[in-house]
Every structure is written in C-alpha cells, then in structure tokens.
A and B are shown apart, each in its own frame.
Chain A
Amino acid sequence: NAGVTQTPKFQVLKTGQSMTLQCAQDMNHEYMSWYRQDPGMGLRLIHYSVGAGITDQGEVPNGYNVSRSTTEDFPLRLLSAAPSQTSVYFCASSPFGTGNSPNTGELFFGEGSRLTVL
C-alpha cells in the first residue's frame, strides 16, 4: 500500500495564480483532511471530508476549495494564491467517518507539499 500520496512535493507560484494540490489514499478511508503547517503555528485544519460528496470547513478555509468525488481523492484548490498561503500542506486520512465511531481518529499523513507564493 502506498498510503497517502501528495503531489507535487514542491511548488512555486506567483501571486494570483491558481493551482491544485493532489491527495490520494489507497486505504479506503472515509475521512480525509488538509492541514497547513507554519513555523510557530503548528498544524491548522483547512478543510475535511467524512465521505465522498461531503466536505466541511476547518479552522482556516478562506482562499481554499475542496471537493470529494471519490473515496480515494481529496484535492485542495488555491483559487488565487497569496504570499500568506506560503506553507507546507499536509493531507491526512483516517478510517473513521460518518459510518464509524469517531473514537479512533488516528490520522495517516502524506509527506507534505511545500508551497511558496511570490
């Protein structure tokens, strides 16, 4: 199993450009999420999904869009990149979701996508 795969690993954008960070998992996990990690701030939740067709906002959703058309994929779209979105982005999945008890909650993380917005 590959686990959680994120692409690209590195990306440089200019202000105003748009792009999509890809996330795929092969563990049949219902729950998927996106976090951003900034120095001194820890990890902050951007968006999450508890199953195909269901998404919801986390702590810092502004400037980002998500969709969940399949169980496996959960892309994160930056609509108009800003320097404040320079960060390392992590996708994470978990076996719990709408059909399961949320008592487990263990997250499986990808290796991260490092984004720089100039």
Chain B
Amino acid sequence: SQQGEEDPQALSIQEGENATMNCSYKTSINNLQWYRQNSGRGLVHLILIRSNEREKHSGRLRVTLDTSKKSSSLLITASRAADTASYFCATHSGAGSYQLTFGKGTKLSVIP
C-alpha cells in the first residue's frame, strides 16, 4: 500500500516562481527521499532527509520534515522550464527494512 501521498496531484506555475509540494506518510520512518521523473524516463534521486533532521538544502531545493505531523515538503525556488517533471516522495521505514515505498507523485508544469 502507498505510504506517502503527495499534494497537490498537479501544479502549474510560471517560470521564476517557487513550487512547493507536500508529502504525508502514515508510519514512522528512517528517512524520506524525493525523486524527479521526466516524462518517459526513469526516476532520479534529488535529496534524502533522515528522521532526525528537520531541514535540508541542495541547490534550489529545500526539503523539510516534520515527524510529529508525518509530513514533508519540497520547495523548488526560482523554477525553470526544465523543472517540469513529476516529483515523488519515498519513505524508508527503518533498520532491517529494505523497502522504499513511493507516493503517487506531483506533476509540476513550469510555463516559460
């Protein structure tokens, strides 16, 4: 069953604007990851945040994690047309578990 649920399902913004996507999950986690998928391609890992971390940055990406609310957000600043893709959160539930469970994704469209 799906562990993470992304919100919104689809998002359309103008180039230069910021894009925020949210992920909620149900059970305790070891880490949470965000992936990007361009149309017709495989997924690419963007960033990983561990359960004891609250915020992480990578270039124009900012990820937050609130374990008390079982939620995470991905912020893409100063978006570009090349950021157009689907974004997925994935959770790793803990030591001894070798499964990464994906949500259904947010489809982001950045209009030039």
Contact = CB atoms under 8 A, between A and B. Distances in A.
Contact of B43 (A41, A97, A105, A107): A107
B50 interface: yes
Size bracket of the B interface: 20 to 34
Interface string A50-65: 1000001011000000
Contacts of B1: 59
Interface residues on A, range: 20 to 34
B87 to A, nearest CB: 12
Given A102-B95, A103-B31, A105-B31, A42 B43 contact: no
B96 interface: yes
A103 B96 CA distance: 10
Contacts of B98: 31, 48, 50, 56, 96-97, 102
B44 interface: yes
Of A35, A41, A97, A105, chain B has the most CB atoms within 10 Å of the CB of A105
Contact of B99 (A40, A41, A45, A110): A45
Interface in B1-30: 1-2, 30
Given A58-B99, A107-B100, A42 B2 contact: yes
A7 B77 CA distance: 36
Interface string B88-103: 1010100111111111
Given A42-B2, A45-B99, A50-B98, A105 B41 contact: no
Contacts of B103: 42
